[in-house]
Amino acid sequence: MAVKSEDNKNKGKITLDRDILVSIINLATKEINGVVSVGDKNRSWLKKAFNRKDDGVVVKFEKNGALTIDVYINIYVGSNVPDIAFRVQENIRNSLATMVALKPMKINVHILDVECDKEANDA
């Protein structure tokens, strides 16, 4: 499934698969300190078994060519939510710009769950 196509007389055509964008977005999101995971860890095993690998990331191309991204994340307790959301947005924006030369119009960050540290649960 092609998500970006650019025709130029001298330069040719560039086509990107949606899975590449999802992989870049997942990687950029997980790089941020305070993010536990992308997607909902509390879903049933049945939904996980039949779900595509882009769980937690929704990429939409609007009719006018604008790119909209929705990311669903889980964060650690005690994290600064606005700071993490801002850093996730900036890291996704920078990663897409440097790796595939895309500039998203909107990056929406949805916090699904707040989790305790694994070490705190063991104590």
Q: How large is the average pLDDT for residues 26-40?
A: 91
What number is the average pLDDT over the span 118-123? 52
pLDDT in tens, 66-79: 899 999 999 999 88
pLDDT band at 119 (very low <50, low <70, confident <90, very high): low
Q: Which residue has the higher pLDDT, 95 or 3?
A: 95
Whether the CB-CB separation of 109 and 89 falls below 8 Å is answered with yes
- Residue 5 — pLDDT band, cuts 50, 70, 90? low
Helix orientation angle between 18-30 and 81-100, rounded to the nearest 10 degrees: 140
Per CATH, the architecture of 26-41+49-117 is what?
2-Layer Sandwich (3.30)
* CB distance 71 to 90 below 8 Å: no
Tell me the pTM.
0.78
- Would you list the domain boundaries of the chain? 26-41+49-117
